[in-house]
Structure 1
């Protein structure tokens, strides 16, 4: 299961995985509810100024503005564009395509919010990998506490990512 809300990167992922029938690809973003939402991206007129323009997207305009200011000297207001993207909630995603054994989140600062959208009450993923680098210390703590309360063991695997692993309930009950 691959979720990518941006049209360009989605087309690349779709082409890359087209012969893999077991890999479902959806052009949407995970959110609190199904519908549509504004996603902020580097504008088309400024993409040539940013080395990773297609990788910069967020529900937070200020995040994209900050990324632009790292690469564009004196960015203007038109540096950031808004595109409407479809959204899907966790329950609908699991009902239609799950459950999922492994969840990887890389959402440029929105990882914490996405992690809090995961409903652990039914078929929780055994492995979750998320990017903590762009999270505030407060959000990093919230993510850590939530995952630990759900029975996950956490390990920082590099400067950017945290790996959370959880034993299945049946195995966890038999541990000494």
Structure 2
């Protein structure tokens, strides 16, 4: 019954809007924050870097759809970006950018799980091979493959594949789409979050809120990221199990 109810909600826009506007109560601290932010702000503009398919395990999806956020979903993986475009084919408010954000424009190698494109696998893709290997060593990859019913390659060295992806800078993105102000920047890039935050052109614009995944950052990088954002005028307002929220001081 719950699955059928969820199917109906996600199938019809008016049901989706009604449920998430009037019935749904946020349970996570991240959703409490985002729900309050979205309700008070009109003409909301966002940039989500590492958007994956834009729906599964995406904390922004309900607000993009419910409150008609405008913005950009950035996803470098070609096959995953194809899914992202399909998921947002009827949304005229959102731009899909098939690229990665980096310090320099060009091409770069992305490391990913070789034998599955499921959401759990594609979500592990990273510029940092050691981040993918870490999830293999922890047993997470083997466990998820078993749940999916996928055969593992006999040689563990073959569990990681590479994909050449297009990279642009944050400023390239800003110029391409004539972005003057952003309410929210969110990063979910498996250990590369601080590097991307350092490329935000704060001299050109200061997003009101920056949300980044800290769970793959080393302790030193976490602290350096916090200090960097504070030096740019932000306060850390929430730290949960996976994410950190920084908000521009008034």
SS of match in other structure, 1:72: helix
- Given that 1:2 and 1:26 are in contact with CA atoms closer than 8 Å, whether structure 2 keeps it comes out as yes
Name the CA distance, whole Å, in 2 between partners of 1:142 and 1:123: 21
- Given that 2:131 and 2:216 are in contact with CA atoms closer than 8 Å, whether structure 1 keeps it comes out as no
TM-score by length of 2: 0.62
Give the one of 151, 160, 181 matched to 1:80: 160
Is 1:17 aligned with 2:88? yes
1:75 to partner: Cα distance: 6.0
Give the one of 167, 170, 192 matched to 1:110: 192
Name the CA distance, whole Å, in 1 between partners of 2:222 and 2:164: 28
Name the CA distance, whole Å, in 2 between partners of 1:159 and 1:23: 28
Name the CA distance, whole Å, in 1 between partners of 2:133 and 2:240: 26
Unaligned runs of 5+ in 1: none
Name the CA distance, whole Å, in 2 between partners of 1:154 and 1:19: 35
Give the one of 162, 165, 169 matched to 1:89: 169
TM-score by length of 1: 0.86
- Given that 1:3 and 1:29 are in contact with CA atoms closer than 8 Å, whether structure 2 keeps it comes out as yes
SS of match in other structure, 1:24: strand
Number of aligned positions between the proteins: 165
1:48-107 Cα shifts (integer Å, max 9, x gaps)? 8x8811211111112112222323399621111110000110111111122322101111
Q: Kindly report the root-mean-square deviation, in angstroms, between the aligned alpha carbons of the 2 structures.
A: 2.0
Unaligned runs of 5+ in 2: 1-71, 144-153
1:66 matched residue in structure 2: 134
